[in-house]
Amino acid sequence: GMDAAGDVFKLIRDPKTRLRDVKNILPPKKPMNHEILLQCKMELTRKISTIEWEEGKAEQMGAEVEALFSLIKNYGELMVDEQLVTALFQSKNFSLPVGDLTLGLLNYLINLPVPMPDLPHGMDLPKDFRVDEKRTLGSQLQRAVGSWSNRIFRQDTKIDDKGDKGSKDKRRGLFSRARNLLGGRDEDIEGLEEQPLPLLLGQAFNWWIANCARLKGERNQMFAELEWVVYAQLSSLCLSSPMFARETINNISVATDMQAKLPGEVKRPFVEVLCASLKLVSPVDVMKSLYPDPKQMLAKSVAKTQAWKRDIHRRVIEQLIANLLSSISGEQQQKKKDVIFQMDMLLRSGPVFPFFVYWFTQQAISVKSEKLTEGQKPHWARLEKFFEITSAAFTQGYSSMVDGTCLISDIKACVAVRPAEIMQNCWDALNMSPATETTTTLHAEIESQWEVLGKLKVIAGTFMAGSKTEKDILLAEQKWNSLQIRDMRIFFRTQEPDRNFKITIEPLDAHFLAAWSWLYSLVPSDLFKLIWAEQPGSNDCKKIVPASVAWKKEYSNLVTEVTTFERMRKIAPILNNRDERKYFCNTAPGFSHNKGNPSWKMFASKKKTKTDMRILMSDWLHLLAVHETIASIIRVLDCLHLFIKATGLPTLDEAKNSAKAIETVFKQENFNEKEVKEIGRFVPDSSKLDPCLVRLSPELFEAIVQCMSVLDWLREL
């Protein structure tokens, strides 16, 4: 019963109990013992993970591992499973060589029946469900096997003999920590960090060449297991960090230079490691690494390349494109869409797909004269499939440029590809050379309309805040990159909409588009804002023509001198500013309105026009000031004789007469109804009244006059 079971567990735990003793302790394999045996397996796994093997005692290790095979024979997976084997490979100093025993354990695991999926009660598997033929070994086991194989690689290649342990600790540095995250013990990788990767790879390849030769002599037939171990070991060297992954791709030549000596059991897993490294390296870096000089992509260069190297390049590019396409289709499936590959999606990876198009067409020329092996054919077929998908996307992209249905973002993406010749090579390879020029032309159109849109936004914000026009402009700005070229053209009215075409954003008002640059120059003008505000109705495009008419009228009234003094009160203070005169004179004459056909032009105005206007404004504003203060001016003038030398008195009298004359006219006639042309009547008199008189205080002067006798008395003291 339970006591007996407790004794069994105790015995397994006992440090004196060896693995070869365990089979004599275990209860027989009967259904009633099932639970106890599972518990025994846990105890045994725990025991193995704490073993410290004696270094260099291979026979002793071998005998212990052989004991596991007798457990396998009697109990199978009840006692020996993947977790237990993982614990063995990970245990301290375990260094049995690659051979019958170690590969045999992996062979046993691979050939275990594939477990059926656990299903909720009462649920059946779908009819077409197929179990994988072979088990796949887990990543924890892979890491443990990587640690173990590095341990023996290190011992065999004497990488470790580098003086005392202390200095080694310092050198281990950062990457040991990076590798630590991946499982393996620190000391299993010790000494590998300070070696440059090309050197390590070369040593690893030589070590595997020796292992394979030895295994051949031992008549070992476990090739699949051997390849898996090679993969685990190379992965632990090459994939421990993005930096090592990039180094691996940069050093493919280490392998290809040794290719004559490398057995297939080493070549194949090396290529798999390269494919796995692509998840850690940017696609652009991969392209640069494979073809540092773009000329190496040319068919004639491909034909001269070593066959295995050529093969590796194809496998790597195939994997690279497969990864990118599957991430694009994954995004679409999440959004529950049918998977279609469009040019803009492909261009999100920058130059990779255009590069692939050109690369593939060059490879295809070389393939015509190569004899592909049975193993290479499926890979080439897959590349052909990827080329079909990609070239279809670019072909569709080009025809959408021609008919205007392509998105603004597509054009931007094409132009953004660097270096630019990659995109050109891609179009040339697809026999669509004009696409390069089309893209450039469309991009220029987009950029210039975007600039216009920015100015329209300013105009609308200034004169039509809150209008539908302003909302449409803001919408176009917000949706810009996702608009089609024809949406943009319809919006700016450079293209008529098709009857059956659904309009995304209504075309802008035709008058607004004809007048925009004219209006844009008036954004800073206060006078135009005044006239705009005076027009009835809401602030939208309907106001453009009436405001332009009123603007032109205001100008011609001034030029023909029929503007009333009442109107001048509003506009003269504004037109007294130099910029305002410039805005006014450059735009007003250029507006014309013949037979309902308005047109907005701009002319550089003549200097004389602006000078005349400047003089008119200053004369009139002076006259207005005189008009507002005539009574107090006369009071001041009446006091001034006290302050003036005798020679100045005639001038003072003239000023007094002018003031009285003007006052008389002001009393008899209505000032506000006068027109500008009458200003000539007043100038002779008003010009004799100095502008400072307007600002002087009559009370002050009258007080001085009253105190004059006191002042005289003070002077005499």
pLDDT per residue as tens digits for the range 426-454:
999 999 999 999 999 999 999 999 999 99
In a domain? residue 94:
no
pLDDT confidence bin for 160, thresholds 50/70/90 = low
- Residue 707 pLDDT: 86
In a domain? residue 615:
yes
Q: 228 and 310 share a domain?
A: yes
Q: 407 and 525 share a domain?
A: no
**Domain-ending residue, one of 391, 417, 443:** 417
In a domain? residue 98:
no
pLDDT confidence bin for 166, thresholds 50/70/90 = very low
Q: 404 and 297 share a domain?
A: yes
pTM of the complete model: 0.79
Cα(327)–Cα(322) distance, rounded to whole angstroms? 9
Q: Taking 50 as the threshold, does the pLDDT of residue 172 lie above it?
A: no
Beta carbons of 679 and 620 less than 8 angstroms apart? yes
Tell me the pLDDT tens digit for each residue of 50-76: 999 998 888 999 999 999 999 999 999
Q: 542 and 581 share a domain?
A: yes
- Residue 7 pLDDT: 87
Smallest CA-to-CA distance from 255 within 304, 293, 312 is with 312
Q: Taking 80 as the threshold, does the pLDDT of residue 165 lie above it?
A: no
Q: Taking 60 as the threshold, does the pLDDT of residue 691 lie above it?
A: yes
In a domain? residue 33:
no
Q: 497 and 543 share a domain?
A: no
- Residue 347 pLDDT: 92
Q: 551 and 673 share a domain?
A: no
Q: 239 and 300 share a domain?
A: yes
- Residue 244 pLDDT: 92
Residue scoring higher pLDDT (663 or 714): 663
Smallest CA-to-CA distance from 469 within 524, 539, 535, 418 is with 539
CA dihedral (76, 82, 84, 85) in degrees, to 10, reads 100
Residue scoring higher pLDDT (216 or 501): 216
Tell me the pLDDT tens digit for each residue of 385-395: 999 999 999 99
In a domain? residue 80:
no
Residue scoring higher pLDDT (683 or 259): 259
Smallest CA-to-CA distance from 319 within 386, 246, 220 is with 386
Domain that holds residue 412: 210-417
Q: 346 and 409 share a domain?
A: yes
What is the residue-averaged pLDDT of the chain?
A: 90
Q: 395 and 314 share a domain?
A: yes
Percent of the chain with pLDDT over 90: 74
- Residue 178 pLDDT: 46
Domains contained in the chain, number = 4
Mean pLDDT of 551-561: 97
- Residue 131 pLDDT: 63
Cα distance between the two ends of the chain: 140
Q: 619 and 688 share a domain?
A: yes
In a domain? residue 629:
yes
Q: Taking 80 as the threshold, does the pLDDT of residue 190 lie above it?
A: no
In a domain? residue 595:
yes
Tell me the pLDDT tens digit for each residue of 238-256: 998 899 999 999 999 999 9
In a domain? residue 24:
no
**Domain-ending residue, one of 605, 635, 651:** 605
Mean pLDDT of 611-639: 93
Residue scoring higher pLDDT (138 or 716): 138
**Domain-ending residue, one of 547, 573, 605:** 605
Q: 255 and 367 share a domain?
A: yes
- Residue 334 pLDDT: 74
Q: 392 and 309 share a domain?
A: yes
